[in-house]
Structure 1
């Protein structure tokens, strides 16, 4: 007697669902607000982060120019690369997020003042908030420019994990900060970068999230 033929399993493919305009706006605002609050924590603890934001912190600490303005100006050279490699929609969303973050970074300290803040808490909680905000933006095809654009580009085109790339860039910037910032602050800042990079490494994998 012949054995019954094995039942065929039908592969069900889930189509990618595009985000609505309202969903994109909500994610851009929420993600940028998360990042802005993280930068407020870092600023009040005397810490900094990696990537373009870290370079903006260094300029802010050394020149006294507003951190938000430094961040906006440092990102200008990356828009051409983003437009060419990642597309117009990504670039426009990224520009909107950077402009909003620049404004929030300048205005938030007027409304948020923390009397006591241990750098360890600022590093860990701020790193988690940075990772969460960047994840919101990445899942809606946006970023905060600079190193994040490069990290997302390498993930999409080369399959490199964005968290790994971001962590490598961030640590490089923070090591360069030893020439300007006291070593203890740099050490806590490296912890924040590791928390952020680890969060993205675990939660932002190629192919895991199919929204666009």
Structure 2
């Protein structure tokens, strides 16, 4: 029975996530998010937030995406620590580290030989959305705008997906300086898919992460 309780099986009461639930949720969310980033990268597309800036640095200067993604998120940990607490910050740090590592090794596990940009935008956006949703529901994120979005939703009631969408559009606008308009168009499509998915599904009145 203690094992069942630890895993959270058959529990119909509102309780906090167990450590085992957090481990599987953070790892699964990070894995799915890394897969979404790999799908986008396979089509040469970008996304928003700090991942989008990391893509820009990778495409424009050849900087390793995983390393850039990890380093760009470090400044946001101060906001996370001060406003969202130690537990959220630690879990977010772990999620970013796992996602960065998995993104770097994806091509060694499998390769996407060909994918249409529109399909990559839709699939990559949805995979990122599912990954972020799993992390949000276990009180974690992929840093950057995700931290800001959760803070804005919890502090002011502004949907995290809408906050992220607005900032993502600014990041993708900068992509015009390093890539083609068609790539920017499909990247915007992927960002819209991602953030509308989060706006619809990540709502405090339907699911409260404990």
Q: Give the distance between the partners of 2:184 and 2:109, measured in 1 at CA.
A: 27
Q: Give the distance between the partners of 2:81 and 2:161, measured in 1 at CA.
A: 22
The answer on whether the counterparts of 1:52 and 1:146 sit within 8 Å (CA) in structure 2 is yes
Tell me which of 107, 121, 128 is aligned to 1:123.
121
Task: Report the equivalent of 2:15.
Answer: 17
Q: Give the distance between the partners of 1:51 and 1:166, measured in 2 at CA.
A: 7
Q: Give the distance between the partners of 1:16 and 1:140, measured in 2 at CA.
A: 14
Q: Does 1:111 find its partner at 2:115?
A: no
Q: Does 1:135 find its partner at 2:141?
A: no
Greater CA radius of gyration, 1 or 2? Answer: 1
- 1:47 is paired with a residue whose SS is coil
* Structure 2 residues without counterparts, runs of 5 or longer: 1-11
The answer on whether the counterparts of 1:161 and 1:206 sit within 8 Å (CA) in structure 2 is no
Q: Give the distance between the partners of 1:42 and 1:86, measured in 2 at CA.
A: 30
5 Å-filtered alignment, 1:51-200, equals: 51-200=49-198
User: Number of matched residues?
Assistant: 199
The answer on whether the counterparts of 2:139 and 2:209 sit within 8 Å (CA) in structure 1 is no
**TM norm structure 2:** 0.92
4+ aligned runs moved over 3 Å, structure 1 = none
Q: Give the distance between the partners of 2:84 and 2:202, measured in 1 at CA.
A: 17
Task: Report the equivalent of 1:45.
Answer: 43
**TM norm structure 1:** 0.91
Tell me which of 194, 205, 208 is aligned to 2:206.
208
Q: Give the distance between the partners of 1:16 and 1:151, measured in 2 at CA.
A: 24
The answer on whether the counterparts of 2:150 and 2:160 sit within 8 Å (CA) in structure 1 is yes
* Structure 1 residues without counterparts, runs of 5 or longer: 1-13
The answer on whether the counterparts of 1:83 and 1:91 sit within 8 Å (CA) in structure 2 is yes
